C-alpha cells in the first residue's frame, strides 16, 4: 500500500527533523510520538478515518479543537496535558509549513489554536524532617532495600530528574576529592553536581556490593532491573511511591499524598533556597536554562515569604484590644458601631 503524505511527513518529522535538525532527545521524541498515537486513535474512533488512509488534508482547525476537547472530556485529561498535546501539534505543523506550501492557510489556522489558561499546580515537596523520614524507610538488611536507599538519596542529593537517574552509569561518577556526578539532562545538555559525604558513603557501599567499580562495569546501568537493563521511570516511581507510603504511615502530617519522583528534586531546590543559596547557583544545580524557571521555588517558599514579611515595619497593624471582647456583649458593640459610622 502506498504511504500517505501524512505518514511520510510524520516519519521524517520524528526520525529525521527532530533528532538531526533540532537535536531533540529520544525521550522527548517518545513523548511526541504518544501524542500522535492518541491523535490517530481519535481520528479513527471519532472521525472515521483509519491511520493508513489519513492525509494532511484531513487535518483542519476544527478537528484539532475537537481533538483537544475530546482529550479533556473523554480521556479526562488536565488542561496542562491538553496544552502539552497542542504544543506537539504546533511543532509538527510549523514543520509542515515549509514542506507543503499549498496548505499554508490551513496550517496557520491550526497554529492559531490557543493554549488554555490553567492554574499552576501546587508543587509538592518534602521538608527536611520529611526527607529524613523517607530515607529511613528502606530496609537495608535486604539487597533491594540498600538499592532503594542509594537511589532515593541520590535523587534528592543531586536533584536529578527521573530519566537522568535511569540513564546513570558508574562512569558518570568522579570520586577524587569532592565526589561529583555527571547528569545528562534535557536537550542533551550535561551538568556536573557535587554529592554530600553521607550520600557518597551509601552510594559507594551499593556500588561495591554490585561490583560496579570493576572496569568492565563502567557502562552498566547504575540501577538495573532483573534483566540487567536500566530501571524504567515507572519502576523508579514505584520505589518512590512505596517508601513515601511507608513514611506516611509513620507520620501522615509531614508526607503529602501526591509525592512523586520530581518531588525529591523540588525538595532539594526548596532546601537550597531556604539555606540562602543564590538562585543562579540553584539554576545551574538543577540544569535550568534561566533563573526564570528557578524562580518558581522562590515563589513557593512560605518560609522565605515569612522572612521577608518580618523585615517590614510590624507597627503598621496594631493589636487593638478595644472591642466587644471587653464586656462580652457582641450585639451591644455592633449597635455602637452602627451609630458611630
The number of residues making up the chain comes to: 341
Q: Distance between CA atoms of 197 and 178, rounded to whole angstroms?
A: 9
Q: Is 262 a catalytic residue?
A: yes
Burial class (CB in 10 A: 0-12, 13-18, 19+), 114: exposed
Chain center to CA of 12: 28
Which of the following is catalytic: 85, 265, 266, 271?
A: 265
CB 261 within 8 A of CB 155: yes
The residue whose grid cell reads 456583649 is: 329
Q: Is 288 a catalytic residue?
A: yes
Which of the following is catalytic: 44, 63, 262, 304?
A: 262
Instruction: Retrieve residue 156's grid coordinates.
Output: 534528592
**Cβ neighbours of 308 (radius 10 Å):** 10
224 φ, ψ to 5°?
-115, 160
Q: Distance between CA atoms of 38 and 85, rounded to whole angstroms?
A: 9
CA-based angle 246:204:241, to the nearest 5? 20
190 φ, ψ to 5°?
-115, 155
51: which DSSP letter?
A: G
Which of the following is catalytic: 161, 191, 230, 243?
A: 161
Q: How far is CA 253 from CA 85, 127, 156, 248, 265, in A?
A: 36, 11, 20, 8, 20
Q: Is 233 a catalytic residue?
A: no
Which of the following is catalytic: 61, 63, 174, 186?
A: 186
Q: Which residues neighbour 37 within 8 Å (Cβ) at sequence distance 6 or greater?
A: none
Q: Distance between CA atoms of 112 and 53, rounded to whole angstroms?
A: 26
CB 149 within 8 A of CB 137: no
**Active-site residue set:** 161, 186, 262, 265, 288, 297
Amino acid at each position: 500500500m502506498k504511504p500517505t503524505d501524512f505518514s511520510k511527513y510524520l516519519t521524517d518529522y520524528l526520525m529525521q527533523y527532530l533528532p538531526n535538525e533540532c537535536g531533540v532527545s529520544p525521550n522527548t521524541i517518545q513523548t511526541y510520538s504518544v501524542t500522535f498515537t492518541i491523535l490517530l486513535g481519535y481520528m479513527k474512533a471519532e472521525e472515521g478515518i483509519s491511520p493508513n488512509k489519513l492525509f494532511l488534508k484531513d487535518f483542519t482547525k476544527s478537528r484539532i479543537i475537537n481533538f483537544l476537547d475530546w482529550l479533556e472530556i473523554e480521556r479526562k485529561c488536565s488542561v496542562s496535558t491538553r496544552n502539552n498535546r497542542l504544543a506537539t501539534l504546533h511543532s509538527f505543523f510549523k514543520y509542515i509549513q515549509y514542506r507543503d506550501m499549498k496548505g499554508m492557510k490551513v496550517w496557520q489556522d491550526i497554529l492559531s489554536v490557543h493554549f488554555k489558561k490553567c492554574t499552576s499546580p501546587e508543587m509538592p515537596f518534602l521538608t527536611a524532617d520529611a526527607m529524613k523520614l523517607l530515607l529511613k524507610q528502606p530496609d537495608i538488611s535486604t539487597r533491594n532495600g540498600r538499592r532503594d536507599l542509594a537511589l532515593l538519596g541520590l535523587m534528592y542529593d543531586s536533584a536529578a530528574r527521573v530519566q537522568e537517574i535511569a540513564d546513570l552509569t558508574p562512569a558518570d561518577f568522579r570520586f577524587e576529592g569532592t565526589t561529583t556526578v555527571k547528569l545528562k539532562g534535557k536537550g542533551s545538555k550535561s551538568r556536573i553536581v557535587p554529592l554530600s559525604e553521607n550520600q557518597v558513603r551509601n552510594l559507594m557501599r551499593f556500588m561495591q556490593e554490585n561490583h560496579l567499580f570493576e572496569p568492565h562495569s563502567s557502562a552498566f546501568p547504575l540501577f538495573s532491573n532483573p534483566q540487567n537493563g536500566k530501571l524504567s521511570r515507572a519502576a523508579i516511581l514505584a520505589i518512590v511511591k512505596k517508601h513515601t507510603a511507608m513514611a506516611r504511615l509513620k507520620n501522615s502530617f509531614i508526607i503529602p499524598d501526591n509525592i512523586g519522583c520530581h518531588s525529591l528534586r523540588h525538595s532539594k531546590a526548596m532546601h537550597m533556597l531556604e539555606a540562602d543559596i543564590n538562585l543562579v547557583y540553584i539554576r545551574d544545580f538543577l540544569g535550568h536554562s534561566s533563573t526564570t524557571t528557578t524562580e518558581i521555588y522562590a515563589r513557593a517558599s512560605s518560609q522565605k515569604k515569612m522572612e521577608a514579611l518580618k523585615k517590614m515595619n510590624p507597627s503598621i497593624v496594631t493589636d487593638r484590644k478595644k472591642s466587644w471582647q471587653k464586656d462580652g456583649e457582641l450585639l451591644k458593640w455592633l449597635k455602637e458601631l452602627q451609630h458611630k459610622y
